[in-house]
Structures are given as structure tokens and as C-alpha cells.
Amino acid sequence: MKILITGGAGYIGGTAVEIMRGQGHEISILDDCSTGHVDTIPKDVRFVQGSLLNPSEIADALTGTDAVIHFAGKSLVGESVDKPALYYSVNVGGTRNLLDEMYKAGVKKIVFSSSAATYGEPLQIPIPESATTSPTNPYGATKLAVDQMITTESRTRGLAAASLRYFNVAGALHCDRGWLSERHNPETHLIPNILCSSVENPVKIFGSDWPTADGTCIRDYVHVIDLIDAHIKALDSLQNELHEIYNLGSGDGYSVRQVVAAACEAFGHSIATIDSPRRPGDPAVLIADIGKARTGLDWAPTRGIQAMVADTLASFN
Ligand code: UDP
């Protein structure tokens, strides 16, 4: 299949490029490289350095495409609180442009990177796809707006679509060009922060008074390779005029202290931590109900927290 991967120069999109080209798909990438890295793009892949805000660049990238996997977008919760207009412009406006150009080009299949941030503060754990969506930050609001836009698009223009709501993505893929790792500046995510910590620069534990067994927040981590496997299955499952939404996580929760313990094991030595105030906007517990992806996509995560920490560590070295 000829597949356009938007955001294919990024951590998750780049992992999808590598795995899907390895399966024989013909891949094109559209990426503005605002956060992605050109050096991760394989030489044999068609690359359009362009923006979702520029319809003619999207049209160029879509040439000859059968389907789109749409990763491109702004993805940091804290930044979205500071710059909501940027998030609405790129995530919502940019995806509007993409859907319009897909319609013009007759491309009728899309798999979209949505987020657990669409749910907001959960009323039930684990969280099913039928849970109330009430995002607590602009990032989640823009992902929800795009999910709703895609639902309309499937009904009115016959789009075959899937939104995949990621919980916490971790781990890395090793390929012939080295590790495709998460590289943010500044880094905000827990596992990279643990791996970059030192005695002088201990890991801040954001809140130790949460209503959880050890007082720290609980999250659901999924390995990036398992995550991409779900995208491939979602792409194969698409049906005209239908928009399906699936949660992607492991279905298990790990507290911040449990993740630190897993990292200590991978490192082979202790890790300095410092109890710090809660981070604004953090819910106490987020765990996915992944029953729909298990049955609907015949998908199951295969790599646990140890593999995620070990692979992230290897990708940093
Ligand atoms: N966290 C932490 N210290 C850090 C980074 C994150 O204690 O340096 C906590 C954060 O409050 C949350 C969990 O680790 O409870 C996962 O945060 P991350 O930023 O990795 O992902 P998020 O859940 O925000 O998408």
C-alpha cells in the first residue's frame, strides 16, 4: 500500500515509517521538522518538508497515496496551556486542511493519533472509549475536536477512519540507522527524565500525596513498537463511512515510584529522586480499558515496563 505518514520525522511517526517500510509498504512523509529530525528519515522514502498549514504542500505529499497515518501535530500538554492558539491552529486547522486535501485527492483512509487526554479527569478506571470526554487542557481539546471532525467526515464524505487514543508511549525501536528515540527539548516525560537524572539532578516526583497506594500518580505505559502494530491493524480494519475509536495502552497501571524502580533495575544502580509539588493538570490515575482494541483489532501489547525502560535507556546511550 502507498501510505503517507504525517509527522514521520518524529519519534512515533519515525518508528511507524521504519516498521511499515520493512513490511513492504511504499511510504511518503510530510513533516515540517519543527520538532522532528530529518536525520532519522530513511533515504529511500519520499520526503516532503511541508506544513499542515499549507494545502499545496499537503496535496504534493498526498500524490499517489492510498491511505494516511496522521501523527503530525503539537503534543505537549504544558505548552498547550501556554499557547492554545498554536495548538488549535496546527492540530485542528492543520487536520482540517489535510482532510480537505484528502477528499480532493480521493484518499479515503486515515488512522489518526488521538490521545487519552481527550477524556480529562476520569470518572471510571479503567477508561473505556465510551467514557465522557472532558479534556482538562487545550492539547486534549484539540485531539477531541479532530476526533469529532473525523466522525463527521466519515458520515458526510465516506471516509474510512480510526482514531487511536494513546495513553503513555515509551520504549524505542532499533534499526540500521541506530535507535529511533524520543528527543524533546526541554524533556517533560517521566522515563526520559529518569534516564537523564543524576545525584546532582534528581528526578522530581510530582506529588507524593495522591490517593494511590504509594502516593504517586499512576499511568498506563505502552511500548512504541506495540503501538505501531496497532496502527497497522487499524489500517487493515478500516471500513468506508465508519470511524472507530480505540484506546491504546497496556491495560495496567504503574506508579511513578514503580517506574523509577523498573529504571533502577535496568540501570543496575539506585536513582536519586526528590519529592516535589504536584504538576498542575495531572489526574491521579489513568489506565486504559483496551478490550475494544483486543477484540476489534486482534491486538495485544507484548512488551512490559521493563522492556520499555531498557529500550529507552539503550536509545539514550
Ligand atoms: N512525572 C514526574 N516527574 C517527571 C515527569 C513526570 O513525577 O519528571 C509524572 C507525571 O506527574 C505523571 C507521570 O509521571 O504522573 C507521567 O508523566 P509524563 O509527563 O511522562 O506523561 P503524561 O502522563 O503527562 O502524558
Average the pLDDT over 15-33 and give the result: 97
pLDDT digits (tens, 9 = 90+) for 210-220: 999 999 999 99
Report the alpha-carbon distance of residue 62 to residue 1 in Å, rounded.
13
CA 299 to ligand 1 center in whole angstroms:
26
Q: State the catalytic residues.
A: 139
205 lines ligand 1 (CB under 6 A): yes
237-248: string of b/e by CB count within 10 Å (b at 16+)?
bbeeeebbbbbb
Mean pLDDT, residues 264-290 taken together: 92
Q: What is the pLDDT of residues 33-48, one digit of tens each?
A: 998 888 889 999 999 9
Which of 190, 201, 203 should be mutated for ligand 1, with most atoms under 8 A from CB? 190
Residue 39: its pLDDT value, please?
86
Whether the predicted pLDDT of 50 surpasses 80: yes
Nearest residue CA, atom 14 of ligand 1? 190
Phi first, then psi, for residue 305 (nearest 5°) are -60, -35
Q: How far is residue 105's CA from residue 121's CA, in Å, rounded to a whole number?
A: 39
The CA 246 to ligand 1 mean position distance, Å, reads 23
In the chain, % helix, strand, coil (3-state, to 5) comes to 40, 20, 40
Dihedral of CA 77/165/300/217: which sign? positive
- Cβ of 184 closer than 6 Å to ligand 1, yes or no, is no
pTM reported for the whole predicted model: 0.96
Q: What is the reported pLDDT for 186?
A: 77
pLDDT digits 0-9 by tens, 176-220: 888 998 877 778 899 999 988 999 999 999 999 999 999 999 999
Which of 165, 193, 256 to mutate to test ligand 1, by most ligand atoms within 8 A of the CB atom? 256
Domains of the chain in start order, with CATH, are 2-170+221-247 (3.40.50.720), 173-220+251-316 (3.90.25.10)
More confident: 316 or 211: 211
- Which residue puts its alpha carbon closest to atom 5 of ligand 1? 190
What ranges make up the beta strands (E) of 242-283?
A: 243-248, 254-255, 273-276
Q: How far is the CA of 277 from the centre of ligand 1 (A)?
A: 12
CB 197 within 8 A of CB 205: no
Confidence of residue 169 (pLDDT cuts 50, 70, 90): very high
Which of 152, 142, 149 lies closest to 115, judged by CA?
142
Helices within the chain (DSSP H only): 11-22, 55-62, 77-82, 84-87, 94-105, 138-157, 190-195, 224-237, 256-267, 291-296, 305-316
Across-strand partners of 285? 218
Model confidence at 280, in pLDDT bands (50, 70, 90)? confident
Reduced to 3 states (helix: H, G, I; strand: E, B; else coil), residue 218 is strand
Distance between CA atoms of 115 and 126, rounded to whole angstroms? 15
- What phi, psi does 50 have (nearest 5°)? -160, 175
Q: What is the pLDDT of residue 293?
A: 98
Give the whole-number percent of the chain exceeding pLDDT 70: 100
Nearest CA to ligand 1 atom 21: 189
From residue 18, how far is each of 22, 128, 204, 297 by CA, in Å?
A: 6, 30, 33, 21
| Greatest C-alpha distance within the chain | 57
Is 79's C-beta closer than 6 angstroms to any atom of ligand 1?
no
Report pLDDT digits (tens) over 82-108: 999 999 999 999 999 999 999 999 999
How far is residue 133's CA from residue 84's CA, in Å, rounded to a whole number? 18
pLDDT at residue 77 in the model: 87
Q: Closest ligand 1 atom, CA of 116?
A: 25
Residue 141 Cα to ligand 1 middle (Å)? 19
- How far does the centroid of ligand 1 lie from the alpha carbon of residue 189, in Å? 5
Of 89-98, 155-164, 261-270, the poorest mean pLDDT is in: 261-270
Taking the CA atoms of the chain, what radius of gyration do you get in angstroms?
19
Arithmetic mean of pLDDT, 221-226 = 98
Given a cut of 90, whether residue 281 has pLDDT beyond it is no
Helix (H, G, I), strand (E, B) or coil at 94: helix
